[in-house]
């Protein structure tokens, strides 16, 4: 490690580049700025960068310029196709040797491995580090971060990860993404279960708030309930993560690619969760938060006043 990284990560000398300043990415970049890091950003819509610029971030006109000016590059974009375009087509042709690329996007493990190998050819490193914790976790620096890649590189990056949340090293490249898929399978099932519990409680004549209070300290309690229970009751569907991304994430677990049939895992619950979240998208609610899945359960039960 000392050969490639003689200088520890510090706010005074580590140059940060960031692409993807949506609900999650914007909050994460903001935390790094607040921690004293020099953060440079690229935004397709520059006006969306105004809050970060007011904190002291710098804005560049292209991803290539961003890559050339950064020691550590962060991406938090939407889909694997976006990751491939940003990293493979724009970052890697422009990076300096020993640059580290951190992809926080929920993406495909195979793509993460391809990026890792391509980065090594450029004498650079990549870490797949998807996160869980939603907008609140991003804002408060309490994200769960699942890291795949070289362990010593992840350790070198720890000062950055510690600003954002708690990092767990999962193994070689792609393992962070595999962990996030497993995470989403679990979260999706929890969201569906919580939605059904709330809908049943209401139809049974229970006060939904009292129901949550009664069960939250028992076996039914979960972080999903803590994050989203009150939001569901109050019809607060502002996104911490878009419903359309949950469909994408669950698809990474249940959709079998041609030629990979022997490695497929049978996941009936995840398949049902994907179908229900796809119902949200079909209803035009793709940009609502994942807690909006309760609207699908309500529709099935004849309640059409979803918002």
Catalytic residues: 180
The answer to whether 107 and 177 have CB atoms below 8 angstroms apart is: yes
Q: Is 165 exposed, middle or buried (0-12, 13-18, 19+ CB in 10 A)?
A: buried
The answer to whether 205 and 188 have CB atoms below 8 angstroms apart is: no
* Bridge partner list, 59: 41
Q: What count of other Cβ atoms lies within 10 Å of the Cβ of residue 167? A: 22
CA neighbor of 269 nearest in space, from 198, 184, 201, 177? 184
d(CA 148, CA 150): 7
The answer to whether 243 and 293 have CB atoms below 8 angstroms apart is: yes
CA neighbor of 164 nearest in space, from 15, 13, 30, 38? 30
């Amino acid at each position: 490690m000392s050969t490639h990284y003689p200088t520890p990560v510090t706010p005074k000398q580590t140059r940060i580049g960031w692409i993807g300043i949506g609900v999650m990415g914007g909050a994460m970049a903001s935390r790094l700025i607040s921690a004293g890091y020099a953060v440079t950003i690229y935004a397709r819509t520059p006006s969306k960068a105004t809050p970060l610029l007011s904190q002291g971030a710098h804005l560049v006109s292209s991803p290539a310029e961003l890559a050339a000016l950064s020691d550590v590059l962060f991406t938090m974009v939407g889909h694997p196709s976006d990751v491939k375009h940003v990293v493979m087509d724009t970052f890697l042709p422009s990076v300096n040797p020993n640059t580290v690329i951190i992809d926080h996007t929920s993406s495909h493990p195979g793509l993460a491995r391809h990026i890792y190998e391509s980065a090594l050819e450029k004498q650079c490193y990549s870490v797949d580090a998807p996160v869980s914790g939603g907008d609140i976790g991003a804002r408060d620096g309490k994200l769960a971060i699942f890291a795949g890649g070289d362990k010593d590189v992840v350790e070198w990056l720890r000062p950055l990860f510690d600003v954002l949340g708690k990092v767990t090293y999962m193994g070689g490249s792609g393992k962070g993404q595999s962990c996030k898929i497993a995470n989403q399978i679990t979260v999706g099932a929890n969201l569906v279960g919580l939605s059904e519990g709330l809908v049943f409680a209401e139809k049974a004549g229970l006060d939904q708030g009292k129901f949550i209070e009664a069960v939250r300290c028992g076996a039914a309690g979960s972080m999903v309930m803590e994050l989203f229970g009150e939001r569901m009751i109050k019809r607060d569907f502002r996104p911490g993560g878009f419903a359309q991304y949950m469909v994408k994430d669950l698809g990474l677990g249940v959709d079998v690619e041609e030629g990979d049939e022997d490695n497929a895992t049978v996941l009936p619950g995840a398949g049902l969760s994907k179908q229900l979240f796809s119902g949200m998208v079909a209803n035009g609610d793709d940009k609502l938060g994942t807690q909006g899945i309760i609207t699908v359960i309500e529709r099935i039960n004849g309640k059409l006043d979803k918002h």
